[in-house]
Structure 1
Amino acid sequence: MVKREVVQLITPGTQIDTGAENAKDNNYLTAIMSQDDGESYDLAYVDLATGQLQVTTLASFDELTNEIINLQTKETVLPAEINLEVTELLNKLGILISHNANQEVNSATSYLSQNIDSEGQKAVLAQLLEYVRATQKRSLDHLKKAVAYEPNYFLEIDHNSQYNLELTKNIRTAKKSGTLLWLLDQTKTAMGGRKLKQWVERPLISRDAISKRQEVVEDLLNHYYERNQLTDDLIKVYDLERLASRIAFGSVNGRDLIQLKTSLEQMPKIRHALDSFTATSLKKLSRNIISVDDLVDLIEQAIADEPPISVTEGGIIKDDYDKQLDAYRDASKNGKQWLANLEAQEREITGINNLKIGFNRVFGYYIEVTKANSSKVPTERYQRKQTLTNSERFTTPELKEKETLILEAQDKSQSLEYELFVKIRDTIKESIDRIQQLADIVAQIDVLQSFASVSEEYRFVKPELTKQHEVKIIAGRHPVVEKVIGHQKYIPNDILMPEKTNILLITGPNMSGKSTFMRQMALTVIMNQIGCFVPAESAVLPIFDKIFTRIGAADDLISGESTFMVEMKEANNALQHATSNSLILFDEIGRGGTATYDGMALAQSIIEYDHNNIHAKTLFSTHYHELTTLESELPELKNVHVGGSRTKWRTCLFTSH
């Protein structure tokens, strides 16, 4: 009888092996619970492949919507009772809804939640982790302690703005190509690629943190040869985060351990390379690269250099690692030599030159003789075992005896090898925390060297961070457009917004580059606040807290919203939530399905409200040339005009003066 049971339930959110093409993407499983007020929500998410576990509290349904879309989750775990609008949202987005009423807090959940203070966040973590435990039915030792985060700790970019700015997904193709992430990604490891995507989606608002990253990028730029050595070492590092998860899950094989050994062997080299730099942050990262020589030595001594994929069929453990295993192997090897000698002996005795000794799993070892030579078989010694179309198979008493010894040695050898492999795997499992710590350090280093490489290749410059409310970008460029069409074809332009100039009213013909110019401004801000250099000859930038965009014409007919309604909702979102430290991009407000004078009045009222109440840095493009008279009425507004060529992507800006 064979015991049959479900050993693991694989769902869209718990899938680990997503393929090499998605190695730089996270696969998040989320859980949501509404708080007692019915308006705020606790949200937790986990990536089982990397061990990342985070939790937050969102103050409104709009914030929840934004977070769910940005995480690109494929599955969400809900309690038995949840607001109807949450399920409607998930159904509209095509996200699988799973239910888990059990919020039992066990020792594993308590350990992972120990740094969380909020009871609501602890509850949603319990709901998520219990679902993972119930579906995966195995150890989750690779999960990191839950980290609570606040979306407003980062530069806030809602999902519409991320979409319009094409940060990680191309609007036309829905692919990575043609996005800011695509431009910046010169990472050498899968971990670095995932970290870069996280940084692009969550730029910093801490001046000190931004400065530290840019200091590292500058140091890497100034040490070309040392940086090249560092990248050479990074190339040899495999995906430590996912290797750690497979070790914890018990699905790791011999080849995975060889990849782990190769990766860990690079750590002293990476640390030595980092010691060549002067940036304080790099020195700190270098000090945090802990020794893992014990793991490297264990794998080196135990695992074959080219192990098979299977861990149960032998050949995975090196000779001289275990005396008992060596004894079994010796018995098996000598037995096979005895079989070769027997074959030669029987050929000589019988005179059958094509006699051979073979093996299969059903009949074991046998002596095979062709039908043409069957008359030469010594029937007093040979016992018929199997009859085939063209041959007969026999055995002898001494072959039977030796068969038992050989097969017993082989079976015991394979069984012992698997036991030894499991012990080695469990020993490494105890060091998962060390492996994950190294993975995080390598990912950070990889992203920063990527910033340096991109900045060097495309002539980006280190921006000056100012505490004043001014923007001064000299000879700025749209980095993605420039990469696509070539440096020679893109004409740089200036963006000058002094302390008292908060709104640029942009006019110009169709296809002149107004939208490109506006996106260029936003991408420059984002690149600055993720710690990268920016595409310009020089740049002085403040720290922005939020970015809002209303670019392009699009409807949302599934929700029954016209182009005009979508436009108004996005504009309203900006006016309701922007601060004086925000960046707003309004493109052709008032043209989406409204009459000319209605649209003009709408555009003017939005400009005046922004000018008089918000004072955010705003780029407002329009075809309503009548609005240029506002410059004489609104002291914080300046007119600029874009003149360009569709074929040459020439973008020239000058003031109305």
Structure 2
Amino acid sequence: MAEQTVSPMMQQYFEIKKQHPNEIVFYRVGDFYEMFYDDALTASRELELTLTGKNCGKEERAPMCGVPFHSYETYVARLIAKGYKVAICEQMEDPALAKGLVKRDIIRVVTPGTVIESSMLDEDKNNYLCSIYCKRRRGRWKAGVCFADISTGEARATELEAEKLGPAIITELCRFMPSEILICPGILDFKDVTAYIKQHTSALVELREDACYQDALVEATMAGQFGAGWRKAMGYEADCLVPYAVAALLNYLQETQKHGLERIKSVENYADAQYMRLSPVTRANLELTETMRGREKRGTLLWVLDKTETSMGKRLLRAWIEQPLVDADAINARLSAVQALYTANIARADLKEALSHVYDMERLTTRILYGSATPREVKALGDTCARLPQIREQAAACGAPLLEQLAQQIDPLQDLQERIENTLVDDPPATLKDGGAICSGYNSEVDELRDIMHGGKGYLASLESKLREETGIPKLKIGFNKVFGYYIEVSRSYTDSVPDTFTRKQTLTNGERYITPELKELENKILGANERLLALEHQLFAELLSDISAQIVRLQRTALAVAQLDVLAGFAEAALQNNYVMPEVDGSDRMEIKEGRHPVIEQMLKGSLFVPNDTLLDEGENRMLLITGPNMAGKSTYMRQNALIALMAQIGSFVPAASAHIGVVDAIFTRVGASDDLAAGQSTFMVEMTEVAEILRHASKDSLVILDEIGRGTSTFDGMSIARAVVEYICDNIGCKTLFATHYHELTGMEQDIYGVKNYNIAVKKRGEDITFLRRIVAGPADDSYGIEVAKLAGLPASVTKRAHAVLRQLEASAPDHNKPIQLDFETVEAYNNPPVPSEVVEKLHNVDIETLTPLEALNFLYELKNTLDKE
């Protein structure tokens, strides 16, 4: 479309759109954001908006749709959720004062990872933007990974170096679950990473060009953000890849947000070894933050432990659950703090009451920094500051070293509180559009302008009364509209009584409207005061936001301390409500739990009795518990509860047990349940074996491994062979604590054959053909599989289960040595699975020269071998 044929406004639109071809441009026109052409077609479809047209200087009308300015966040949120980016094009000057075309420009590009609006964010979940940079160094792949939550200012980074880098990157993505990922071209070589992102996340992926990672650009970006000595101050070696990931993230924010980068004051460098390793499979199986089926919070560990009062605390609790500690001293510091809060009932109650009045300091600060905070939100920050002295006092009163440390980190922020209280009215408006936010006595000019306005309205009432009396027109009234300003309205029946000093401005159906010199003078005085007052309030409010933004470091440090106190107090409250005990955590290899319970299931079964069980695991003679028993008896629940108890202890929470001694585990691995991965073309058995392979490759002697029914996806002999081989490998080569549930009763003989294996079973009470699950784990192997009884409990027709019993009795009676317990001869199994090859076949294979065979000769040779085997 030739530019000279379009209207000036559309010409301006095309110039802006050319710079943002991949975003939907929200183009501000008055009280609406308008979209045109392809953007309009997309938005009308995705947002179900009415599509209209606009004359823009061509015969063909431009497709157009729009959304109200005051409610645009709702529409942007829906587009972001569908994977689009939105460029906000704002009017950069007051249309009433503009000469010619109003200046417009993009003030921000909203993407999934850069959202700061509270209406578009989950209050209990961080919204991470991720940046990954990988490169081969000295023959090995390394990666720098950075995660930043723009809404809170949190930024964390680590460098990964592993034999298999893909799984290490996936583990970090699973730990933080970013909503947007910036990748370098090199990451495309890691098919497992790209497949994981595509299949298991809803993250928007942005491929950054190699030019974004040039050394000079990285150096300039990091120095500009963190100062000239950034590398030494942040502890980055010369060949570290983390700065490349951080710089790419910062440059992306500069491109999209235009300003506000000062919110990221520092980057916390963490090491993978600081936290317990939890694979994506383990996180899903243990249902830490969302259930496997409904992806809900209810029914998860997060749901059970969330007794927090603040949004900041909710987000931190989720982060702690996702990242359990492996340092016993750090864990015990948290546990001691929880113990102090647990015993100090009054102080804890007062602390939680004060916390319940705390607003989201982290995200409020970000909105203030970006200049998008409302007067009401700033007042909320002031109200929060008023609670800080009480929070600090109650935390310090409880006595634990960590609580005292956190109390010291809380800045009372009294100066900010006073600044806000002195500036804003007690109940400020939701927006600054119509003014009314600045309190009386703060600024003399504001007070003076308000007196003029209020006095002006009094003058209007007096003038109206005076004119009625002078003209004898009883229904004369003074009104106002934006077109004519103030006017005198007289009904048609009294127009003859209108004096000559009135100048007619507008004729109505039922009357006439007039102005007078006196009214016009009053109008100028009032309207001038109103416009000046609005402008002055905006200026004073902007100054307030600037003053608060200057204290961002104090606010950020205080917010983090308050969030930690909230989580610790929540742990104490959960322990009190759910009858938890303080675990003993150390660096030993021992996990001993007395009367342990499943933290989630016991809450789901409120009113029903949950049967507790003991557990003893170490890296010696109790390194593997081989658990047998029927389905539905509670094997999976028992194994999961031990994993959850270990995880709860290592995040600093009390645990559901009578007592617990937890030697720190560096990782939890699970292989529970069976499911096909049809999208990847994998059967149940392939998925199972892939997960087992990952466990055997990555588990260490300090890990906790949970294996449920290994080998059931294939034939009986194959399955038993694999199961035994896995047990032998774990015991002999890894030596970690393992819970292994199986239906293969033949495997129970391994207790005598393999050091460290102990048999346990889930007790069952049997009366005739009826069984009762006692849910109690006891030493020794199960005496039966109870498969038919379980089928009966599941609702199989009585005729079917009766027939099954008859068939079973026939099979047992016809089996040789049917009165003896079955013990599998593994030498027989090996011979069965690996039959000897006839010597004649071997000899022929040795003698043949494959390279000289023609295709026809090769086919004949194969036919000859087949005949030889058949004769055998």
Shared fold, TM over 0.5: yes
Q: Distance in 1 between matches of 2:549 and 2:255?
A: 21
Aligned to 1:61: 166
Q: Is the 8 A contact 1:189 1:238 kept in 2?
A: yes
**Offset at 1:55?**
1.1
Instruction: List per-residue Cα deviations over 1:72-115 (Å, max 9, x = no partner).
Output: 22211123554342545433344322133334333443448751
Of 98, 117, 141, 2:236 maps to 117
Aligned to 2:149: 47
Q: Residues 642, 20 of structure 1: CA spacing in aligned structure 2 closer, same or farther, 3 A cutoff? A: farther
The residue identity in structure 1 corresponding to 2:113 is: G
**Offset at 1:348?**
1.6
The residue identity in structure 2 corresponding to 1:441 is: A
**Offset at 1:396?**
0.6
1:62-211 equivalences under 5 Å are: 62-80=167-185, 82-84=187-189, 85=191, 86-92=193-199, 93-101=201-209, 102-103=212-213, 104=217, 105-106=220-221, 107-111=223-227, 114-118=233-237, 119-211=240-332
Of 27, 49, 52, 2:127 maps to 27
**Offset at 1:424?**
1.1
Greater shift after overlay, 481-490 or 199-208? 481-490
Q: Distance in 2 between matches of 1:80 and 1:351?
A: 84
1:292-311 equivalences under 5 Å are: 292-311=413-432
The reply to whether residue 430 of structure 1 matches residue 574 of structure 2 is no
Secondary structure at the aligned position of 1:172 is classed as: coil
Q: Distance in 1 between matches of 2:450 and 2:251?
A: 45
The residue identity in structure 1 corresponding to 2:396 is: D
**Offset at 1:426?**
0.4
Greater shift after overlay, 313-322 or 194-203? 313-322
Secondary structure at the aligned position of 2:669 is classed as: strand
Instruction: List per-residue Cα deviations over 1:572-592 (Å, max 9, x = no partner).
Output: 111111111110000000012
Q: Residues 514, 51 of structure 1: CA spacing in aligned structure 2 closer, same or farther, 3 A cutoff? A: same
Q: Distance in 2 between matches of 1:47 and 1:40?
A: 24
Q: Residues 18, 204 of structure 1: CA spacing in aligned structure 2 closer, same or farther, 3 A cutoff? A: same
The reply to whether residue 526 of structure 1 matches residue 628 of structure 2 is no
**Offset at 1:328?**
1.5
Q: Distance in 2 between matches of 1:507 and 1:356?
A: 92
The residue identity in structure 2 corresponding to 1:50 is: T
**Offset at 1:33?**
1.1
Q: Is the 8 A contact 1:301 1:318 kept in 2?
A: yes
Aligned to 1:399: 519
Q: Distance in 2 between matches of 1:581 and 1:185?
A: 29
Identity of counterpart residues, as a percentage? 39
Aligned to 1:653: 777
Aligned to 2:105: 5
Of 600, 605, 611, 2:731 maps to 611
Aligned to 1:264: 385
Aligned to 1:233: 354
The residue identity in structure 1 corresponding to 2:144 is: D
Structure with greater contact order relative to length (CA < 8 Å, sep ≥ 6): 1
Q: Distance in 2 between matches of 1:310 and 1:568?
A: 58
Aligned to 1:602: 722
Q: Is the 8 A contact 1:90 1:96 kept in 2?
A: no
Instruction: List per-residue Cα deviations over 1:620-654 (Å, max 9, x = no partner).
Output: 00000110111111221111101369999852011
Extract unaligned runs of 5+ from structure 2: 1-100, 782-872
Q: Is the 8 A contact 1:490 1:650 kept in 2?
A: no
1:305-454 equivalences under 5 Å are: 305-378=426-499, 380-454=500-574
Q: Distance in 2 between matches of 1:97 and 1:541?
A: 40
Q: Distance in 2 between matches of 1:83 and 1:244?
A: 37
**Offset at 1:150?**
1.4
Greater shift after overlay, 560-569 or 173-182? 560-569
Aligned to 2:114: 14
Greater shift after overlay, 395-404 or 55-64? 55-64
Of 430, 455, 471, 2:575 maps to 455
Secondary structure at the aligned position of 2:241 is classed as: helix
Q: Residues 21, 515 of structure 1: CA spacing in aligned structure 2 closer, same or farther, 3 A cutoff? A: farther
Q: Distance in 1 between matches of 2:679 and 2:405?
A: 51
Q: Distance in 1 between matches of 2:402 and 2:690?
A: 42
Aligned to 1:622: 742
If the length of structure 2 is used for normalisation, what is the TM-score?
0.73
Q: Residues 160, 50 of structure 1: CA spacing in aligned structure 2 closer, same or farther, 3 A cutoff? A: same
The residue identity in structure 2 corresponding to 1:117 is: Y
Q: Distance in 1 between matches of 2:295 and 2:398?
A: 39
Instruction: List per-residue Cα deviations over 1:501-538 (Å, max 9, x = no partner).
Output: 10000111111111000100000000000011110011
Greater shift after overlay, 38-47 or 560-569? 38-47
**Offset at 1:320?**
1.0
Greater shift after overlay, 210-219 or 86-95? 86-95
The reply to whether residue 250 of structure 1 matches residue 371 of structure 2 is yes
Q: Is the 8 A contact 1:477 1:535 kept in 2?
A: yes
Secondary structure at the aligned position of 1:169 is classed as: coil
The residue identity in structure 2 corresponding to 1:615 is: G
The residue identity in structure 2 corresponding to 1:29 is: L
Q: Residues 649, 384 of structure 1: CA spacing in aligned structure 2 closer, same or farther, 3 A cutoff? A: farther
The residue identity in structure 2 corresponding to 1:242 is: R
Q: Distance in 1 between matches of 2:727 and 2:495?
A: 103
Q: Residues 526, 89 of structure 1: CA spacing in aligned structure 2 closer, same or farther, 3 A cutoff? A: closer
Q: Residues 456, 370 of structure 1: CA spacing in aligned structure 2 closer, same or farther, 3 A cutoff? A: same
Greater shift after overlay, 108-117 or 509-518? 108-117
Q: Distance in 1 between matches of 2:457 and 2:296?
A: 56
Q: Is the 8 A contact 1:513 1:644 kept in 2?
A: no
Q: Is the 8 A contact 2:180 2:206 kept in 1?
A: yes
The residue identity in structure 2 corresponding to 1:199 is: W
Larger Rg: 2
Q: Residues 609, 566 of structure 1: CA spacing in aligned structure 2 closer, same or farther, 3 A cutoff? A: same
Q: Distance in 1 between matches of 2:402 and 2:171?
A: 32
Extract unaligned runs of 5+ from structure 1: none
Q: Is the 8 A contact 1:451 1:533 kept in 2?
A: yes
The residue identity in structure 2 corresponding to 1:509 is: P
**Offset at 1:322?**
0.8
Greater shift after overlay, 494-503 or 166-175? 494-503
**Offset at 1:19?**
3.1
Secondary structure at the aligned position of 2:234 is classed as: coil
Q: Is the 8 A contact 2:763 2:778 kept in 1?
A: no
Q: Is the 8 A contact 1:490 1:649 kept in 2?
A: no
Instruction: List per-residue Cα deviations over 1:526-568 (Å, max 9, x = no partner).
Output: 0000011110011111110111000010122222222111111
Q: Residues 647, 388 of structure 1: CA spacing in aligned structure 2 closer, same or farther, 3 A cutoff? A: farther
Q: Residues 446, 536 of structure 1: CA spacing in aligned structure 2 closer, same or farther, 3 A cutoff? A: same
**Offset at 1:443?**
0.4
Greater shift after overlay, 2-11 or 279-288? 279-288
**Offset at 1:197?**
0.4
Q: Distance in 1 between matches of 2:202 and 2:424?
A: 44
The residue identity in structure 1 corresponding to 2:119 is: G
Q: Distance in 2 between matches of 1:282 and 1:174?
A: 34
Q: Distance in 2 between matches of 1:360 and 1:648?
A: 82
Q: Report how many residues are paired.
A: 655
